[in-house]
């Protein structure tokens, strides 16, 4: 229980320690993936602390760890997407809050304790290549620019300049272009099963919401309608067929939070709660 300033400081110290432990683990995985160095260390840490899924996805760890087997960074989570969510939800807000505080005061030196982990997290998110990371990364970069560059004209200039540099780099560098295409653009096509599932879930939940506009279908009661209303681009990919039972009352993962709330609880409940929070 936090009862004093010292308790708050210890809480922040705990966040710092946890963040650096995770970053060191991720960097070790990145070094192995890029240079083939440290396989034994990566597997040793993974065997002790890595969160792993059920037997259905045991092949992800066949060579000792997720990172070694799949060639993707996962930290200590069971897969890359969960690592991205952990970084974006837990550590990025903490770092951006500290960054905003430092830039709201007169600063005489660069806050390396903020910038180093922030830059490392941005690199890890990009290298992870997960859909979650690719959706969250632009937001992180934009918020960072807003904090550092206080003038909106300068913000737009920086964002525009960055986009221009990326476009020029993609035009004149085939390797850079292929990297951006593989890590970013290929993530948002229906041939990517992960994106197809998420987009399909959002579309399905919206269809259910339209059919049950007022009160929704109730918590966790979307299985029947979800199976019927799932779009075709979602039905014919391995992730849907392998992990979601193809039955009228089967499990259907809600991968879109807002549309999931609307579908299950309807506009009356959702609207009332939203109004109560923001009034």
- The tens digit of pLDDT for each residue in 32-50 reads 999 999 899 999 998 888 8
pLDDT of residue 106: 61
pTM beyond 0.85:
no
| 189/237 Cα distance (integer angstroms) | 12
In terms of C-beta distances under 8 Å and separation of at least 24 residues, what long-range contacts does 11-14 make, across chains too? 12/94
pLDDT given for residue 2 in this prediction:
66
- pLDDT single digits (tens) 77-125: 888 888 998 999 899 999 998 888 887 766 556 688 899 999 999 999 9
Torsion 121-126-130-135 (CA) sign: positive
For the chain, list residues with pLDDT below 70: 1-2, 53-57, 105-110, 182-188, 190-191, 242-256, 277-279
In whole angstroms, what is the distance from residue 138 CA to residue 140 CA? Answer: 5
Give pLDDT, residue 269.
Answer: 84
């Amino acid at each position: 229980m936090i009862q004093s300033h010292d308790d708050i400081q210890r809480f922040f110290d705990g966040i710092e320690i946890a963040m650096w432990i995770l970053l060191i683990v991720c960097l070790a995985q990145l070094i192995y993936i890029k240079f083939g160095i440290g396989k034994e260390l990566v597997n040793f840490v993974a065997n002790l602390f890595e969160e792993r899924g059920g037997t259905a996805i045991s092949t992800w760890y066949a060579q000792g760890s997720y990172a070694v087997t799949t060639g993707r960074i996962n930290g200590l989570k069971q897969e890359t997407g969960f690592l991205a969510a952990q970084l974006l939800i837990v550590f990025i807000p903490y770092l951006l809050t500290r960054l905003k505080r430092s830039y709201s005061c007169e600063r005489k030196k660069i806050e390396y304790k903020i910038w180093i982990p922030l830059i490392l997290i941005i690199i890890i998110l990009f290298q992870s290549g997960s859909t979650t990371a690719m959706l969250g990364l632009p937001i992180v970069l934009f918020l960072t620019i807003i904090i550092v560059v206080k003038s909106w004209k300068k913000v737009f200039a920086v964002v525009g300049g960055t986009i221009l540099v990326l476009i020029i780099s993609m035009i004149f560098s085939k390797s850079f272009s292929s990297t951006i295409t593989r890590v970013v653009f290929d993530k948002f096509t229906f041939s990517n099963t992960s994106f197809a599932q998420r987009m399909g879930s959002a579309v399905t939940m919206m269809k259910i919401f339209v059919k049950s506009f007022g009160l929704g279908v109730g918590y966790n009661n979307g299985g029947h309608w979800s199976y019927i209303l799932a779009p075709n681009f979602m039905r014919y990919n391995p992730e849907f067929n392998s992990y979601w039972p193809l039955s009228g009352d089967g499990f259907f993962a809600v991968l879109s939070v807002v549309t999931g709330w609307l579908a299950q609880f309807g506009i009356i409940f959702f609207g009332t709660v939203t109004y109560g929070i923001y009034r």
